[in-house]
């Protein structure tokens, strides 16, 4: 142990006070090992060292991921791995891809500066290391040497700069604009020398490495000369090279022989992605042995997989959830007591254990999912019909009311809507359901022309994110663009601003507690559960590496003998 | 195998044959103990009105009853073999060799999708001859039935040939197997008079050559008289009289036969000479329960014994039998209609035409060709007058009627006037007065009355629309109308489906007269009816005209009927007026050659032979009519080039008598009284 | 004959034009725009507008429609906005898939249903007749997705002898592809059998009752010959027209089957195009289905007139 | 207006023909009562109608009551058909589910028949320009896949039972119009139509008062055939998530929600609603077949 103790002391000498603070927290058991490594890495400390320090403090690595039935053998080299994903909704173009099928495909042949792994910690990939100066306003990334694109051209800082300037360019129509808006403007990424790229940010941002990591899935590094027709080449620096693209039905890759990282050179020879038009079809596909891996399935669609003996499920704790907004500026939800009553009527245990087969954490009516480390521990709100009725009576709604609930027919949302309908019936409240297709629900996605943003009560699907920043912003800030609840609260706005700016964990957690208590009191949006990210694989396939963001790394995947 | 056929075996023997049909779960008797024998080479006629079971007898002889029919009892022996005891294979062999049939509507009896040659050759291939051998024998057969271009016809399809030509094909098929028994089921009913006589001549000629016995079924006494040696009169599924043709027609010994013979307008009968007699009541429904004599309900001589005891088929001398207790008093059957002639108002009308047309023309545009249906027609119709309109089918009779009524719009320049006022070409543009003035009685009453309306509603609607009366005033007018057409008011609530053909036509007439019309167009009003009912309708039309002074435009292909009713007659050919004049002058010489040919085709009920004039070739198409006189290609009295080059004018050859021919009246009168027409050379 | 075809072609073109107008007007109703549908509801409005600009989805729909019509006349149906690939390519693959499934179903159901219809007609009124017509009619009315679910349950999951989805792995041989298409094809067979059999039965009964059949029987021909030479030629005519009307359903109407069996046919492409308001793809897809339907009905009418001399010769004279 | 004496020429009618019509009517119903297929079909439909009317009373549990903790329980004594994915009793939902389909399908078919018959009458009667134009529009509608037409309409009018009725009605109208047009073209040639024109009757009267009653035969046959298809289409639209809205216990929705689970061995939430659709449709066809047979002869 003394060896590790010596290493820890050495680390203390070199690390900034922020890093020391983390080590104290770790020792005090206030943060888990995983969070310690993650926060340390953000500050620029190398991962192996952090791993050592963490193990020195005696915290195991495995608590986040549960694999059942556990893996048996080690993967044998060669062969083909077949993966099934939901068909991408449009052309496969790094700039515009938004859906899961698309981003999984991007991650095969494309690579990021930083890889955000399943424990949300940033692993250096094309960027060997990075550091920030001026309190997070300027960030410099050291670009790995000896890396080449699939067409043989070497990777240069100019390629990296061009990639990010392209993403931040409003005219490029890229999906990444919503990430870089107000953070990085076009032209502020420059290659300062032949190994470094410097980013001049519009405002200090403690989490910038995340914004260039695989969490921002549009950010795969492309050659400076990229002209936009990605489907022809799938150009990238990744471990897999394009073999054949079958539009609408799938894509197949072969091993990139001169890949820069020897121990991530692919175990299998080929990897074949197959597109499925809907959940039921991909479930039949996996059970019918047409594919070996399903990138993701929902409990509602894939219940059959959970009980299938020759299929292994990998569960990842995640922050994906459903937001049930109650419009605060319209009857009957103007009075917060009515909103609290609604929150108290929901039977969350039935949702988590029944609807989601325990494959989910509980939601406590705030974006702070248990998976986020900055989440403060606050008493979990339970179903309490008696108090709910008292609140309703106090608010003059003792004999209930009638309200319309809008949502769209994706995953388990129609079931959730029907369960809510039954829960609130106990207090005489009647919910009229209007369930349409996604296009109709989101409409023009601007206030006044979108049931999502105009309906009195609506259920909206939110994907997983490494950090709660976005979830605290757009849906809840006074001028948030996704604020279906029309929640306007200055104190909340200022608390969020403080939280985002804070780099230190304690400061973030303190703000988080205040935010959580405020939201519990105001209850503008019900967060009932944060369901796990489920991946399904055949038993004879090993070492499939997935992240809750929807990435799948099949480099080390292979068939067990 | 049945017993070897006796040497002089009958071609067909029916022995007390009983046949029944199963309708909606109950068996209905159709043939009630019919017995008859047809000796070898003999031609036996079976005559009777619709529903009397004559076709059933024919099909029974072929064991081809419909699925819901069965032979309840009795025997059938064909060419000496017991048909009912035969196996299916034997029946097929019998049909392939011994028995054949000629059907009523020839075009639908031939398969539309197979060429004529193939269908005829099939008869030979069944008997084992090879493909091309069958082809040759088929061509020979077609030549035998006087088809001019057999090879051409063999390549054609049934819909490309005329009715007459198709019937010849069927006769060829029937005779190809040199049958022992040839059954003809109303072979000429659907054909024009001229075509009918040609087909009948053919059948007569073929009989001699093929020596087959014939069972000839028809509702027309004249046709039976001309074609058969012996005749059986069938009524409600029972043979009521049987004997040699001359005997039965000259000396009928059963009231039904007597009544039937009186109904037919023959031998120049005319309304102003004496009314036609009729048979009261209706034909019994299919399989009705009839006690005693089947004809008792409608018989003028009925007595109690008739209803109790079924009379047997009593022998009345020289092989003539009758199923009537009082067969000797049959011919003294009291008349139902008073014989008094119908005095017609026409005589004292002031002769001003109430309806006239001047150079009426109508061109149809089909698939790019211009078809001239009616050409330059000028006609007049006087007050209370009946103008008979005759001509072969396709001559434009019906088109002319539809033009007058406004159902079809004439070409520009055609003038139609009613009481001097111009009539609009389209009915929708005529005012209510003009609409009331011109009405029509259609041929088929089933199609002319809306089968979903009650009789009351049909007539009431006509009254409301044409006369504009409502409520009780309309009801009383309705009662009067019903009486005027002798329609029993108690049936006023029925629907057409429940009435007999005759009653339905009376309703149609009542509807036509609802608006006190000035002119009524009668488009073959009686040809869809049975003979006995026909007479009643003709009398009714005559009486109504006499009473109300309505003018008739009477269209019919039955010249006997036209002669009975018409005051004046117009003869149409290829849309042109060939002859126009008083009925009697047109019916006697001198006549236009076309009229002469038409009249010669009409068989006389008294069977007296009349010089037959055969019209060569088919009726030319309206699309490109022949040059000069349009009739010159078929005219038996063809003069020469003048007919081919110059179209004759419709000129007045005698006072009140016009025709369109180069001959003058004297020339034709002299010719027609002496030399029978023969053609030196056929037209180019 | 040429005049007849010419007239029908002109009429079909008018129908196609009407079809495109109906679809054009209809698609105004769809919410959102292509950019929004591709980038999703959470994308920045600026990005959405930029993408729309790029894809040309911002132009007024009238000009988009005119561009599209202009393109069609020069056989270039433009690019699919969502897939950014020529429409022909996107629809080409889908059409080939749909055609394969339709052909397989066609080959199975047409002979089966005609034989069934004629067999039932020959035994009109018997229990077998009632069984076939009633069975066929009921099978026709049971929804295709119910058949799909039942067939997958039995043959794929319980017996495990047939795959549950319809798209064979890439480069698989002819027989593997057929094996994958058997289940969906049989869903179509159940749905179409009753419809065609009923028409074949009605046509045959009518021909059996016709005068010419009576003539043939009285000629002494055995029943088999009468049916083969005289009845079938006339009874199958109406059936041809019915088969043609089903082609539209076979190509464009199989969305449900394609969804359950995960088969990339025209139905799914149209469905996604409508949802994503991918205007050129939707319009062209509906056109293709329309053309297939109209060509099928035209071929049926031509076949009808060729087989039925009365109609054929009426045109020529 | 006195006429020749009436009584002489007038025969007493043998049997008042009036009751022949009633006799034929009685015979037809007797035939109907005796046909097995009709009775079995009517019996099944009767059961479904009772379920539709007294649904909640008959169902052992409340079809809407959810119990996620007891979801996908296999058929047992307290849940004959087991429970669905949110723990509702499948047996109760199948019973109450009859109501939506038995309301929407007939209503849609009626709407389609009314529009279709009107269109058929107009195109059949007028022929010429009107017929050509309207027939082309009908062809265009027939060429559009039903589902695409459904999506466009339901997105525009919003998902509700009424929308489904309108969509199916509009989709059926062209097909029925085509059949009615064929019948009207034949009927139009009959002389009673010319007779009506000769009374200066206006076109609408001729079409709807004179011709329509005579084409009711084909219209009725088309209605019964279409009714079977309506059930098909309602279920398909529900299956695609466009038809009848959850939580309504519609069979099509139930199959849609659960068909993905059959591979996990949960067959009961799919099988029973699917069988219910099949049995109802077969029953409707048996009735149609019985009626057609009885009124045929």
Give the domains, in start order, of chain B with CATH numbers. 12-228 (3.40.50.300), 257-338 (no CATH), 383-403+430-568 (3.40.50.300), 588-671 (no CATH)
> Considering only residues 194 to 223 of chain C, which have any Cβ-Cβ distance to chain B shorter than 8 Å?
210-212, 214-222
Q: What is the mean pLDDT of chain B?
A: 84
Other beta carbons less than 10 A from residue C138's beta carbon: 21
Q: How confident is the model at residue D44 (pLDDT cuts 50, 70, 90)?
A: very high
A518 within 8 A of A490, measured Cβ to Cβ: no
Testing the interface with C: which of D109, D135, D137, D148 to mutate, by most C Cβ within 10 A?
D148
| pLDDT attached to residue B497 | 84
Chain B partners within 8 Å of D210 (Cβ): 450
D144 within 8 A of C19, measured Cβ to Cβ: yes
How confident is the model over A432-437, as a mean pLDDT?
A: 87
Beta-sheet pairing, B551-555 with B386-390: parallel
Query: In which residue are the tokens 């249903």 written?
Result: C113
Q: Of B419 and D119, which is predicted with more confidence?
A: D119
Burial B614-634 (b: 16+ CB within 10 A, else e): bbeeebbebeebbebbbbbbb
| pLDDT attached to residue C149 | 85
Task: Tell me how far the alpha carbon of residue A385 is from its chain's centroid.
Answer: 34
For chain A, the distance separating the N- and C-terminal CA atoms, rounded to the nearest angstrom, is: 38
How confident is the model over A152-175, as a mean pLDDT?
A: 88
> What's the CA gap between B67 and B70, in Å, rounded?
8
> What's the CA gap between C255 and C257, in Å, rounded?
6
Q: What is the pLDDT of residues B190-249, one digit of tens each?
A: 788 788 888 888 888 888 888 889 999 988 888 888 889 999 999 888 898 999 988 888
Domain D69-295 class, CATH top level = mainly alpha
A515 within 8 A of A491, measured Cβ to Cβ: no
Q: How many residues are given for chain C?
A: 317
| pLDDT attached to residue D9 | 38
Q: Which two tokens stand for residue B480?
A: 């009067």
Lowest-confidence pick of A13-22, A519-528, C264-273, D174-183: A13-22
Chain B partners within 8 Å of C312 (Cβ): none
Chain C partners within 8 Å of B97 (Cβ): 220
Beta-sheet pairing, B568-573 with B551-555: unpaired
- Per DSSP, helices labelled H in B601-661 are 641-645
Q: Of B399 and A68, which is predicted with more confidence?
A: B399
Task: Tell me how far the alpha carbon of residue C104 is from its chain's centroid.
Answer: 12
Q: What is the mean pLDDT of chain D?
A: 83
| pLDDT attached to residue A42 | 63
Q: How confident is the model at residue B316 (pLDDT cuts 50, 70, 90)?
A: confident
- The Cα of D154 is separated from the nearest Cα of chain A by a number of Å equal to 9
For chain C, the distance separating the N- and C-terminal CA atoms, rounded to the nearest angstrom, is: 10
Lowest-confidence pick of A333-342, C201-210, D1-10, D264-273: D1-10
Burial C107-134 (b: 16+ CB within 10 A, else e): ebbbebbbebbbbbbbeeeeeebbebbb
Chain C partners within 8 Å of B101 (Cβ): 218
| pLDDT attached to residue A375 | 85
Lowest-confidence pick of B14-23, B513-522, B551-560, B630-639: B630-639
| pLDDT attached to residue B348 | 47
Q: How many residues are given for chain B?
A: 684
Residues 6+ away with beta carbon under 8 Å from A370: A317, A361, A362, A530
Q: Of D12 and A195, which is predicted with more confidence?
A: A195
Instruction: Reply yes or no: is the peptide bond before residue A332 cis, omega within 30 of 0.
Output: yes
> What's the CA gap between D107 and D52, in Å, rounded?
15
Q: What is the pLDDT of residues B423-433, one digit of tens each?
A: 888 888 888 88
Chain C partners within 8 Å of B100 (Cβ): 218-219
Contact D68 A414 (CB under 8 A): no
Residues 6+ away with beta carbon under 8 Å from C158: none
Q: Could you give phi then psi for residue D26, rounded to 5 degrees?
A: -60, -40
How confident is the model over A243-269, as a mean pLDDT?
A: 89
**Proportion of chain B above pLDDT 70, given as a percent:** 93
The SS3 call for residue B538 is helix
- The Cα of D200 is separated from the nearest Cα of chain C by a number of Å equal to 34
Closest CA to C39 of D86, A99, B560, D294: A99
| pLDDT attached to residue D8 | 37
Find the angle CA(D149)-CA(D155)-CA(D157) to the nearest 5 degrees: 95
| pLDDT attached to residue A27 | 58
The SS3 call for residue B356 is strand
Find the angle CA(B564)-CA(B567)-CA(B568) to the nearest 5 degrees: 115
Q: Is the predicted pLDDT of residue B347 greater than 50, yes or no?
A: no
Closest CA to B598 of B397, B364, B346, B358: B397
Q: How confident is the model at residue A52 (pLDDT cuts 50, 70, 90)?
A: low
Contact D86 A353 (CB under 8 A): no
- What are the angstrom distances between the C-alpha of D265 and each of A288, A304, B205, B634? 14, 7, 85, 88
pTM score of the predicted model: 0.80
> What's the CA gap between B164 and B161, in Å, rounded?
8
Contact D158 A434 (CB under 8 A): yes
- What are the angstrom distances between the C-alpha of B355 and each of A317, B347, B350, B379, B513? 101, 17, 14, 8, 17
| pLDDT attached to residue D17 | 46
DSSP string, D145-208: -HHHHHHHHHHHH-SSHHHHHHHHHHHHHHHHHHHHHHHHHHHHTSHHHHHHHTTT--HHIIII
- The Cα of C258 is separated from the nearest Cα of chain A by a number of Å equal to 9
- The Cα of C106 is separated from the nearest Cα of chain D by a number of Å equal to 18
Q: Of A423 and C41, which is predicted with more confidence?
A: A423
Lowest-confidence pick of A467-471, B128-132, B351-355, B457-461: B351-355
| pLDDT attached to residue B215 | 92
Q: Is the predicted pLDDT of residue B299 greater than 80, yes or no?
A: yes
Query: In which residue are the tokens 């329509």 written?
Result: D212
Closest CA to B520 of B530, B531, B509: B509
Q: Which helix (H) or strand (E) segment is A224 a member of?
A: none
> What's the CA gap between B97 and B123, in Å, rounded?
9
Find the helix packing angle between A2-14 and A47-56, rounded to 10°.
130
C: neighbours with 3+ CB pairs under 8 Å? Answer: A, B, D
Q: Is the predicted pLDDT of residue D141 greater than 50, yes or no?
A: yes
Counting one residue from B and one from D, how many pairs have CB atoms under 8 Å apart? 99
| pLDDT attached to residue B6 | 45
How confident is the model over B27-44, as a mean pLDDT?
A: 89
ipTM of the complex: 0.78
How confident is the model over A362-381, as a mean pLDDT?
A: 89
Decide if C123 touches B, using CB distance below 8 A: no
| pLDDT attached to residue A303 | 85
> Considering only residues 498 to 517 of chain B, which have any Cβ-Cβ distance to chain D shorter than 8 Å?
498-499, 511
Nearest CA in chain B to C305: B113
Nearest CA in chain B to D214: B452
B212 within 8 A of B182, measured Cβ to Cβ: yes
Burial C190-204 (b: 16+ CB within 10 A, else e): bbbbbbbbbbbbbbb
Decide if D264 touches A, using CB distance below 8 A: yes
Counting one residue from C and one from D, how many pairs have CB atoms under 8 Å apart? 143
Chain A partners within 8 Å of D86 (Cβ): 354-355, 415, 418-419
- The Cα of C122 is separated from the nearest Cα of chain B by a number of Å equal to 12
B480 within 8 A of B472, measured Cβ to Cβ: no
- The Cα of A302 is separated from the nearest Cα of chain D by a number of Å equal to 7
pLDDT along chain C (317 residues), means of 10: 78 87 79 77 82 78 80 78 82 89 92 92 86 82 84 83 80 86 92 88 90 91 90 85 81 84 87 81 86 87 79 57
Lowest-confidence pick of B459-468, B662-671, D62-71, D86-95: B662-671
Nearest CA in chain C to D280: C142
Residues 6+ away with beta carbon under 8 Å from D76: D82
> Considering only residues 77 to 116 of chain D, which have any Cβ-Cβ distance to chain A shorter than 8 Å?
85-87
Q: Map out the domains of chain D as residue ranges.
A: 69-295
Contact A444 C31 (CB under 8 A): yes
Residue B385 DSSP label: -
**Proportion of chain D above pLDDT 70, given as a percent:** 91
Chain B partners within 8 Å of C310 (Cβ): 112, 157, 159
Q: How confident is the model at residue A492 (pLDDT cuts 50, 70, 90)?
A: very high
Q: Which two tokens stand for residue B660?
A: 């369109």
Lowest-confidence pick of A16-30, A533-547, B212-226, B353-367: A16-30
> What's the CA gap between C82 and C85, in Å, rounded?
8
How confident is the model over B630-649, as a mean pLDDT?
A: 83
Decide if D70 touches A, using CB distance below 8 A: yes
Q: Is the predicted pLDDT of residue D111 greater than 90, yes or no?
A: yes
Contact B488 D199 (CB under 8 A): no
> What's the CA gap between D172 and D164, in Å, rounded?
12
Q: Which two tokens stand for residue A287?
A: 């059970």
Residue B441 forms beta bridges with which residues?
A: B522
The SS3 call for residue A423 is helix
Lowest-confidence pick of A280-284, B80-84, B198-202, C39-43: C39-43
Testing the interface with D: which of B486, B503, B539, B548 to mutate, by most D Cβ within 10 A?
B486
| pLDDT attached to residue B682 | 40
Q: How many residues are given for chain D?
A: 297
Q: Which two tokens stand for residue A345?
A: 């009527």
- What are the angstrom distances between the C-alpha of A125 and each of A136, A249, D97? 21, 30, 57
> What's the CA gap between B428 and B411, in Å, rounded?
17
Beta-sheet pairing, A270-276 with A250-255: antiparallel
How confident is the model over A164-186, as a mean pLDDT?
A: 84
Contact C277 A96 (CB under 8 A): no
């Amino acid at each position: 142990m003394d060896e590790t103790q010596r290493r820890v002391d050495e680390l203390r000498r070199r690390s900034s006070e922020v890093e020391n603070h983390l080590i104290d927290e770790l020792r005090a058991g206030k943060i888990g090992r995983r969070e310690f490594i993650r926060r340390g890495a953000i500050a620029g400390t190398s991962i192996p060292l952090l791993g050592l320090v963490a193990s020195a403090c005696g915290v195991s690595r495995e608590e986040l991921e549960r694999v059942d039935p556990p893996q048996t053998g080690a993967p044998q080299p060669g062969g083909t791995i077949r993966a099934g994903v939901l068909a991408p909704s449009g052309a496969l173009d790094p700039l515009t891809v938004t859906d899961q099928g698309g981003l999984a495909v991007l991650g095969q042949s494309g690579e990021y500066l930083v890889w955000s792994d399943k424990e949300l910690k940033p692993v250096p990939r094309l960027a060997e290391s990075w550091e920030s100066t001026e309190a997070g306003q300027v960030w410099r990334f050291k670009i790995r040497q000896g890396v080449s694109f699939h067409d043989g051209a070497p990777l240069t800082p100019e390629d990296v700069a061009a990639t990010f300037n392209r993403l931040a360019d409003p005219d490029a129509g890229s999906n990444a604009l919503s990430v870089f808006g107000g953070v990085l403007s076009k032209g502020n990424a420059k290659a300062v020398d032949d190994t470094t790229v410097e980013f001049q940010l519009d405002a200090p941002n403690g989490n910038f490495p995340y914004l260039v990591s695989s969490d921002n899935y549009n950010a795969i590094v492309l050659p400076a000369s990229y002209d936009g027709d990605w489907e022809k080449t799938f150009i990238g620096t990744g471990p897999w090279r394009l073999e054949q693209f079958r539009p609408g039905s799938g894509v197949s890759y072969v091993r990139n022989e001169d890949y820069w990282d020897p121990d991530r050179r692919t175990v299998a020879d080929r990897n074949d992605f197959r597109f499925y038009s809907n959940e039921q079809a991909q479930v039949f596909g996996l059970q019918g042995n047409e594919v070996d891996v399903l990138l993701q399935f929902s409990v509602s669609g894939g219940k059959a997989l959970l009980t299938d003996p020759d299929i292994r499920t990998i569960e990842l704790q995640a922050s994906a959830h459903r937001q049930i907004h109650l419009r605060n500026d319209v009857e009957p939800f103007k009075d917060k007591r009515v909103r609290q009553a609604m929150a108290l009527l929901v039977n969350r245990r039935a949702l988590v254990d029944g609807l989601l087969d325990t494959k989910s954490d509980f939601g406590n009516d705030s974006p702070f999912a248990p998976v986020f480390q900055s989440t403060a521990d606050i008493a979990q709100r339970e179903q309490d019909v008696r108090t709910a009725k008292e609140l309703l009576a106090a608010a003059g709604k003792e004999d209930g009311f009638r309200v319309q609930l809008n949502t769209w027919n994706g995953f388990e949302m129609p079931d959730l809507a029907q369960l809510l309908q039954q829960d609130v019936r106990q207090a005489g409240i009647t919910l009229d359901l209007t369930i349409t297709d996604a296009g109709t629900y989101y409409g023009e996605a601007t206030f006044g022309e979108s049931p999502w943003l105009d309906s009195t009560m609506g259920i909206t699907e939110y994907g997983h994110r490494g950090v709660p920043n976005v979830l605290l912003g757009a849906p809840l800030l006074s001028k948030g663009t996704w604020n279906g609840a029309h929640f306007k609260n200055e104190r909340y706005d200022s608390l969020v601003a403080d939280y985002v700016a804070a780099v230190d964990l304690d400061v973030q957690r303190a703000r988080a507690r205040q935010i959580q208590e405020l939201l519990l009191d105001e209850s503008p949006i019900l967060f009932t559960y944060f369901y796990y990210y489920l991946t399904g694989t055949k038993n004879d396939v090993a070492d499939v590496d997935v992240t809750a963001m929807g990435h799948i790394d099949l480099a080390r995947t292979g068939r067990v003998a | 195998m049945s017993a070897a056929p006796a040497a002089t075996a009958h071609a067909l023997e029916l022995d007390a044959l009983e046949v029944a049909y199963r309708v909606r779960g109950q068996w209905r008797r159709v043939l009630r103990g019919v017995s008859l024998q047809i000796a070898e080479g003999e031609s036996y006629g079976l005559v009777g009105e619709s529903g009397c079971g004559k076709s059933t007898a024919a099909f029974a002889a072929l064991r081809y009853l419909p699925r819901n029919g069965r032979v309840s009892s009795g025997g059938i022996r064909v060419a000496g073999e017991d048909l009912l005891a035969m196996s299916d294979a034997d029946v097929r062999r019998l049909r392939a060799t011994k028995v054949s049939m000629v059907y009523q509507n020839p075009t639908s009896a031939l398969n539309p999708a197979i060429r004529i040659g193939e269908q005829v050759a099939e008869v030979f291939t069944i008997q084992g001859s090879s493909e091309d051998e069958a082809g040759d024998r088929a061509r020979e057969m077609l030549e035998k039935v006087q088809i001019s271009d057999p090879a051409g016809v063999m390549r054609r399809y049934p819909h490309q040939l005329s009715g007459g030509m198709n019937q010849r094909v069927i006769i060829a098929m029937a005779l190809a197997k040199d049958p022992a028994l040839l059954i003809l089921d109303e072979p000429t009913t659907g054909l024009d008079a001229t075509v009918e006589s040609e087909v009948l001549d053919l059948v007569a000629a073929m009989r001699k050559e093929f020596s087959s016995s014939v069972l000839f079924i028809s509702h027309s006494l004249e046709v039976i008289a001309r074609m058969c040696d012996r005749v059986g009169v069938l009524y409600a599924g029972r043979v009521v009289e049987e004997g040699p043709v001359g005997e039965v027609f000259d000396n009928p010994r059963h009231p039904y036969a007597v009544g039937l013979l009186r109904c037919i307008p023959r031998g120049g009968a005319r309304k102003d000479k004496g009314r036609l007699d009729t048979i009261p009541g209706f034909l019994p429904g299919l399989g009705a329960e009839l006690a005693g004599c089947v004809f008792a309900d409608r018989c003028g001589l009925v007595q109690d014994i008739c209803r109790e005891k079924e009379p047997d088929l009593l022998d009345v001398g020289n092989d003539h039998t009758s199923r009537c207790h009082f067969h000797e008093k049959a011919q003294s059957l009291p008349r139902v209609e008073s014989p008094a002639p119908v005095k017609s108002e026409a005589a004292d009308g002031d002769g001003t035409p109430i309806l006239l047309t001047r150079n009426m023309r109508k061109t149809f545009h089909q698939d790019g060709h211009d078809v001239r249906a009616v050409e330059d027609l000028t006609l007049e119709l006087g007050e209370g007058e009946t103008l008979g309109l005759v001509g072969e089918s396709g001559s434009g009779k019906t088109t002319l009627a539809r033009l007058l009524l406004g159902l079809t719009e004439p070409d520009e320049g055609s003038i139609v006037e009613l009481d001097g006022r111009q009539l609009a070409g389209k009915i929708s543009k005529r005012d209510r007065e003009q609409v009331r003035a011109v009405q029509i009685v259609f041929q088929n009453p089933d199609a002319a009355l809306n089968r979903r309306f009650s009789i009351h509603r049909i007539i009431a609607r006509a009254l409301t629309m044409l006369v504009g009366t409502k409520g009780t005033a309309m009801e009383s007018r309705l009662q009067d109308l019903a009486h005027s057409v002798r329609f029993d008011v108690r049936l006023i609530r029925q629907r057409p489906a429940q009435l007999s053909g005759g009653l339905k036509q009376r309703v149609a007439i009542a509807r036509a007269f609802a608006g006190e019309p000035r002119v009524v167009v009668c488009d073959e009003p009686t040809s869809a009816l049975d003979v006995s009912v026909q007479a009643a309708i003709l009398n009714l039309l005559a009486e109504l005209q006499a009473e109300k002074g309505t003018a008739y435009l009477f269209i019919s292909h039955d010249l006997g009927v036209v002669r009975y009713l018409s005051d004046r007659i117009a003869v149409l050919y290829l849309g042109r007026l060939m002859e126009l004049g008083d009925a009697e002058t047109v019916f006697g010489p001198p006549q236009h050659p076309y009229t002469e040919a038409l009249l010669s085709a009409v068989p006389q009920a008294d069977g007296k032979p009349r010089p037959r004039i055969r019209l060569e070739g088919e009726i030319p198409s309206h699309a490109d009519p022949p040059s000069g006189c349009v009739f010159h290609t078929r005219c038996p009295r063809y003069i020469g080039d003048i007919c081919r080059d110059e179209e004759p004018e419709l000129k007045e050859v005698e006072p009140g008598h016009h025709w369109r021919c180069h001959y003058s009246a004297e020339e034709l009168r002299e010719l027609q009284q002496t030399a029978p027409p023969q053609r030196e050379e056929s037209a180019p | 004959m040429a005049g007849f075809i010419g007239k029908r072609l002109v009429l079909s073109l008018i129908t196609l034009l009407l079809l495109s107008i109906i679809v054009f007007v209809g698609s105004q109703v769809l919410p959102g725009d292509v950019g929004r549908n591709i980038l999703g509801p959470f994308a920045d409005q600026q990005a959405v507008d930029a993408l729309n600009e790029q894809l040309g989805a911002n132009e007024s729909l009238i000009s988009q429609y005119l561009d599209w019509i202009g393109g069609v006349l020069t056989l270039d149906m433009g690019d699919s906005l969502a897939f950014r690939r020529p429409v022909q390519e996107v629809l080409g693959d889908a059409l080939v898939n749909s055609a394969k499934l339709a052909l397989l179903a066609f080959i199975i159901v047409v002979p089966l249903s005609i034989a069934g219809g004629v067999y039932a007609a020959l035994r009109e009124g018997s229990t077998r007749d009632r069984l076939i017509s009633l069975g066929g009619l009921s099978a026709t009315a049971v929804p295709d997705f119910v058949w799909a679910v039942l067939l997958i349950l039995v043959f794929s999951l319980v017996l495990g002898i047939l795959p549950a989805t319809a798209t064979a792995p890439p480069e698989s041989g002819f027989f593997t592809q057929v094996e994958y298409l058997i289940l969906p094809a049989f869903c179509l067979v159940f749905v179409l059998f009753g419809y065609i059999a009923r028409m074949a039965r009605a046509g045959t009964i009518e021909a059996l009752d016709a005068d010419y059949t009576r003539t043939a029987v009285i000629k002494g021909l055995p029943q088999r010959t009468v049916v083969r030479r005289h009845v079938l030629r006339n009874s199958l005519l109406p059936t041809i027209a019915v088969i043609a009307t089903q082609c539209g359903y076979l190509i464009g109407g199989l969305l449900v089957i394609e969804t359950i069996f995960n088969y990339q046919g025209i139905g799914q492409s149209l469905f996604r195009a409508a949802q994503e308001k991918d205007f050129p793809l939707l319009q062209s897809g509906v056109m293709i289905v329309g053309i297939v339907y109209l060509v099928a009905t035209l071929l049926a009418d031509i076949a009808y007139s060729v087989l039925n001399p009365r109609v054929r010769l009426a045109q020529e004279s | 207006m006195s006429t020749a004496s009436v009584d002489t020429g007038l025969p007493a009618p043998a049997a008042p023909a009036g009751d022949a019509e009633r006799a034929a009517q009685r015979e037809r119903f007797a035939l109907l009562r005796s046909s097995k297929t009709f009775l079995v079909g009517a019996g099944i439909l009767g059961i479904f109608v009772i379920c539709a009317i007294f649904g909640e009373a008959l169902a052992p549990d409340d079809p809407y009551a959810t119990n996620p903790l007891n979801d996908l329980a296999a058929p047992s004594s307290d849940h004959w058909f087991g429970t669905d994915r949110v723990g509702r009793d499948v047996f109760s939902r199948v019973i109450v589910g009859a109501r939506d389909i038995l309301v929407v399908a007939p209503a849609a078919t009626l709407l389609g028949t009314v529009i279709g018959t009107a269109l058929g009458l107009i195109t059949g009667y007028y022929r010429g320009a009107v017929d050509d134009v309207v027939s082309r529009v009908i062809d265009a509608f027939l060429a559009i896949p039903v589902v695409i037409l459904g999506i466009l309409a339901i997105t525009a009018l919003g998902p509700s039972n009424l929308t489904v009725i309108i969509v199916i009605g509009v989709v059926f109208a062209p097909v029925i119009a085509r059949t009615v047009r064929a019948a009207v073209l034949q009927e139009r040639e009959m002389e009673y139509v010319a007779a009506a024109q000769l009374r200066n009757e206006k076109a609408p009267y001729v079409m709807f008062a004179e011709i329509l009653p005579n084409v009711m035969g084909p219209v009725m046959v088309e209605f019964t055939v279409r009714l079977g298809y309506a059930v098909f289409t309602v279920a398909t639209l529900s299956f695609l998530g466009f038809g009848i809205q959850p939580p309504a216990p519609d069979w099509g929705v139930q199959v849609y929600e659960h068909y993905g689970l059959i591979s996990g061995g949960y067959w009961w939430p799919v099988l029973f609603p699917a069988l219910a659709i099949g049995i109802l449709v077969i029953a409707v066809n048996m009735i149609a077949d019985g009626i057609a047979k009885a009124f045929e002869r």
